[in-house]
Amino acid sequence: MAKDSRQRLKVARVLTQGGDPSRAPAIFRRYGCTGCHQIPGIAGADGQVGGALSGLQNRVYIAGVVNNTGDNLVHWIVSPQDLSPNSAMPKTGISEAEARDLAAYLYTH
């Protein structure tokens, strides 16, 4: 199990160009992501507005609209309406560096 976890972390860092999942919990809380999404491993992240974010590493598409790549996930987190103008997810105010950390977290969980 530890080897699998280390492998997921290694892949996540490559996919996100160095994202650090250890910084993600505070970022999720700071920007209110926990109010809209269920996020694995984040206490209180039980929102019902947006989709559940578990198993993202196994999905083909992000939000059903773009291929699931590290760059697309980062772009989605920063500015979802660029990729899906009718998305209910607003522009977040999250920086690209913070989005890389969030993406790395999501790819490891």
Q: What pLDDT sits at residue 28?
A: 96
- Reading the block at residue 39, the tokens are 């996020």
Q: Domains in the chain and their CATH numbers?
A: 2-108 (1.10.760.10)
Q: What pLDDT sits at residue 3?
A: 58
Among 59, 31, 34, residue whose Cα is nearest residue 47? 34
3-22 tens-digit pLDDT: 577 777 777 776 788 899 99
CA–CA–CA angle 38, 44, 107 (5° rounding): 45
For residues 79-98, average pLDDT: 93
71-83 tens-digit pLDDT: 999 999 999 999 9
Q: What pLDDT sits at residue 4?
A: 79
Using the predicted structure, report yes or no on whether residue 68 has a pLDDT greater than 50.
Answer: yes
For residues 98-103, average pLDDT: 96
16-67 tens-digit pLDDT: 888 999 999 999 999 999 999 999 999 999 999 988 999 888 899 998 899 9
3-class SS at 48? Answer: coil
C-alpha distances in Å from residue 4, one per residue of 9, 18, 62, 88, 108: 9, 19, 23, 34, 10
If DSSP states are collapsed to H, E and C, what string results for 68-80? CCHHHHHHHHHCH
Sign of CA dihedral 47, 51, 52, 54: negative
Q: What pLDDT sits at residue 1?
A: 45
> pTM for the full model?
0.89
